[in-house]
Structure 1
Amino acid sequence: MREVTHKIDANGLSHFVRDSGDDDAPVAILLHGFPDSSAVWGKVTPLLVAAGFRVIAPDLRGFGHTDMAHKVSDYDIATGSVPDILALMDALEISNAHIVGHDFGAPVAWTLAAQHPTRYKTLTAISVGHMRAFLDAGAEQKWRSLYMVFHQLLGLCEAAYRFNNWALLRKHWSAHGDINEAIDLLGRPGRLTAGLNWYRANASLKRMIFTPPVGSLGEEIVSIPTLGIWSAGEKYLTEQQMIASAKYVDAPWRYEKIENASHWISYDAPEALAQIMMQHWRLHA
């Protein structure tokens, strides 16, 4: 499998990007979440490339080997990460792609698909549904999201996660497929705070409680074919918030539930995940 890595200057930061497959193959852009990097797609990428796709997997801002931004507000999805991905596509001369997001990568993908439908053939949202559906999912989802309140505590959260060889982080994210690698990356100076700033910029109490302004992240309708994927072993997100996302898609919608997988489907069920995504892409090529 051909895989190269790029360091691309875009939107004021240097971005690390994994680029796998033939240059002229259909492109799929895979976006990770917390506490991950593009390495989270390591089991899925070879399957997609073998089937004839080119996979672009960047480290999102602040994660992995991509630069950290300076302010909490720099991690706002709509004004930070969305322009990042568009700039990376332009730098790689990719005019059109399938967009995929997991965890925090999912709201980035939802927003890209909603705001720039001509740049994407399809959307695949893994684990996290449309932000409006997430916010309206009820008491169980709010209970599952309580850890996001803890993530707002600048300094205290960092100290608690680092204490006793990262014992709390290891416990909370216990299903992670390679938690030691994730901790190695987060353990570098400033990196844990950078990752937590995604929550501070996008999942603050204000955003969790109050409706975002019209036209901002969480209100827009997606007009391209969309696939929602949720796993039966999901700890942090309810099935309802994914199923209800259909209300915010004015295009073909498909929902798939994967059994025997945790939040990290790409580690636990890479073959099933790859097959479901490729069926979606080929149907809407």
Structure 2
Amino acid sequence: MRVDARGFTFDVTVDGPPDGVPVLLLHGFPQHSGEWDDVTPRLHPGGLRTYALDQRGYSPGARPSAVADYRIPELVTDVVAVLDALGLDAVHLVGHDWGAVVAWAVAARQPERVHTLTAVSVPHPAAMAHALASDGQQKARSSYMALFRKPDKAEKVLLAWHATALRKLLGGVGDSSRVNRYADPMREPGALTAALNWYRAMSRADLANVGPVAVPTTYVWSDRDVAIGRTAAEACAANVTGDYRFVQLAGVSHWIPDTAPAPLAEAILARTGGTAQAGGTA
């Protein structure tokens, strides 16, 4: 479905029982709401109704041109506005990668709109800041961001030769058809620039303004994540004042929703109080 909010049109994939408990899912870079397609069917038998949002820059009808339009406060306001447009007072919130950053910020700033939080791969911004200041390996893991923040150059590097570098970045999501599913939309005019503008708009001030989270929270991390190391993952707990669970997936890459949908669904069901088993295999 399409949702009009803040003068934009956002694409939202809705599924599950019409009277189910609402769950809003936020994707990461450089993907889209389709990254949840193997997760959401495992949530529906648990009585959950899922809303997978194509966020700002990824929904073609919500793609402003200015870098400042992609600051974290704008992304948070989008989520709240979409919830208002859907008539949802509060939801269980799930986010992966950049979607996790937005989810952390929504939970911290608008806790009345969030029943529970499940953050996937990326920890609380303060935990990342701690790791970057204290762990040289985390600095190396995050070094790719320097390229992503460079206008034009990043696009040229990632899209050259039929987006070879972008496809390599996505190599861990699965087979070539799954890689193409995410890479091809990024080749549309303006799409990759909009996605990269999330990195270009990122500031220490905005990240520092994401305070502690009081809502019940689960953080899911995988030990083969090339972008997020153990220091950042284990520092996450210090930034949650509500009930907190740390779920570690062994032998799984950064692309958890694609490669380990069953254990991820189990973690979400456990956090939200869903009644069904996730079932299936990763």
1:255 aligned counterpart, secondary structure: strand
Residues 1:38 and 2:29 aligned together: no
From the superposition, tell whether residues 263 and 193 of structure 1 become closer, same or farther in structure 2 (CA, over 3 Å). Answer: same
From the superposition, tell whether residues 90 and 64 of structure 1 become closer, same or farther in structure 2 (CA, over 3 Å). Answer: closer
Shift of 1:166: 1.2
Shift of 1:38: 0.2
Structure 2 counterpart of 1:91: 85
Whole-Å separation in 2 of the counterparts to 1:52 and 1:229:
22
Whole-Å separation in 1 of the counterparts to 2:86 and 2:113:
13
TM-score (norm 1): 0.90
Structure 2 portions without partners, runs of 5+:
275-282
Structure 2 counterpart of 1:61: 56
Question: Does the CA-based 8 Å contact 2:109-2:210 persist in structure 1?
Answer: no
TM-score (norm 2): 0.91
Residues 1:256 and 2:247 aligned together: yes
Whole-Å separation in 1 of the counterparts to 2:140 and 2:156:
23
Structure 2 counterpart of 1:171: 168
Structure with bigger helix share is 2
Residues 1:105 and 2:87 aligned together: no
1:136 aligned counterpart, secondary structure: helix
Structure 2 counterpart of 1:22: 17
Question: Does the CA-based 8 Å contact 2:252-2:260 persist in structure 1?
Answer: yes
| 1:1-285 mapped onto 2 (5 Å cutoff) | 6-78=1-73, 80-137=74-131, 138-177=135-174, 178-202=178-202, 207=204, 212=205, 217-282=208-273
Question: Does the CA-based 8 Å contact 2:222-2:250 persist in structure 1?
Answer: yes
* AA in 1 matched with 2:41: P
* AA in 2 matched with 1:92: L
Asked which structure has the greater RCO (Cα within 8 Å, sep 6+), the reply is 2
Equivalent pairs, count: 268
Shift of 1:22: 2.1
* AA in 2 matched with 1:14: T
Deviations 1:9-57 (A, max 9, x none): 1112110001111232111111001000000000001111122100011
* AA in 2 matched with 1:266: P
